[in-house]
Copies of this chain bind each other. A is one copy, B any other.
Amino acid sequence: MAPITNGRLIFKEIPTGYPIPGQTTAYDTSSHIDLETEPLNGSILVKTLVLSVDPYLRGKMRAPERESYTPPFFVNEVLYNYGVGKVIRSETSAFRAGDYVYGILDFAEYFIPKDITKLEVIAKEPTLPYSVYVGAAGMPGQTSYYGWKEYAKAKAGEVIFVTTAAGPVGSIVVQLAKQDGLKVIASAGTDEKVKFCKEIGADVAFNYKTTNTADVLAKEGPIDIYWDNVGGPTLETAIANTALRARIIICGYISQYNGEEDYGIKSMKNVLSNRLSINGLLVFDHQDRYKDEFYKVIPKKLASGEFIYTEDITRGLEKGGEAILEVQKGVNTAKKIIVVADD
């Protein structure tokens, strides 16, 4: 069999603001691969099916000497993130041809992982598509589940405010909170997303671009839990509207990922007045404790329809740069997936 083109998305340049397709990232067709003869050296050959596009990827597009919670991308190297692929060939007993694997995949149509320990075979719920395993049943859903278990200390009747509540992290938080009997205030950036927040059970849902967050929290709060995916002025407002002994879970700060000036939070006095507890949440810190439980609980709820998910699909890796930008700008309509190839 002759070599075929192996399309890949390359990190080209460290952005100062938003990541621009064709400048920050570029689709590359210069690489070729012979699926039958390409040497595997004890690894596997993976055909990429779906890739996840997450807000945190912007944090990897930085000068590599700057430290952060996630390693940097390197210029002229292939991007990577959570995805699902199918094993085409295997030279290890850990995987067989035909297996579906979840883990860190290259933004490439085909790839041979250097480190196969970052992949695992999926035991899929029959009625769930693979794409869900990079969203509600993957890293974003795990983020929600671990953070909820570790830091929410939720009691029925309490009030939670969730930002980016239509996203894959926020929407699972909303549904975990409803399951535990809380009143949920949800915010999102489009009316379509707000509609989805209501569908998944939010008691109050609003478009933060057209409705003032402080007004909503003054009316519907004070809040006992704040799930922060945005940072900036919204975090300041949430802290200002906390109840006594409220818990704040800092999970992201999309408002400050794209070169915006650091916003100064002026409501920190409330940390003492209300004896707040604020915790930074990174999903990887809590895997050992909650991962098995997560896979036992959440995929079944999604398969049965007890928990609802939604996706916004970009077809074709050549549009990957646009998908990444959409998520940074919040113009995606739901959890962003790149479908690289059909099964």
Contact = CB atoms under 8 A, between A and B. Distances in A.
B264 A271 contact: no
Nearest to A244: B69
A281 B272 contact: yes
A266 B266 contact: no
A225 interface: no
A64 to B, nearest CB: 15
A247 to B, nearest CB: 10
A307 interface: no
Contact of A276 (B235, B236, B280): B280
Interface in A307-322: none
A278 B275 contact: no
A179 interface: no
Contact of A279 (B231, B250, B251, B276): B276
A269 B256 contact: yes
A207 interface: no
Nearest to A284: B275
A266 B262 contact: yes
A222 to B, nearest CB: 11
B256 A262 contact: no
Q: Which of A253, A272, A277, A285 has most B Cβ within 10 Å?
A: A272
A282 interface: yes
Contact size class for A?
Answer: 20 to 34
A132 B250 CA distance: 41
Interface string A258-274: 00001111111111111
Contacts of A270: 280
Q: How many copies does the complex hold?
A: 2
A273 B68 contact: yes
A231 B266 CA distance: 11
A252 interface: yes
A277 B278 contact: yes
Contacts of A253: 268-269, 272
A235 B264 CA distance: 12
A286 to B, nearest CB: 10
A272 B250 CA distance: 6
A262 B272 contact: no
A272 B235 contact: no
Nearest to A67: B273
Given A68-B273, A250-B272, A272-B280, 16 more contacts: A67-B273, A231-B268, A236-B264, A250-B271, A253-B272, A262-B266, A262-B269, A264-B264, A264-B266, A271-B278, A272-B282, A274-B280, A275-B280, A275-B281, A275-B285, A276-B278
8 residue pairs, one from A and one from B, having the closest CB atoms: A264-B264, A278-B278, A275-B280, A262-B266, A272-B280, A271-B280, A264-B266, A265-B265
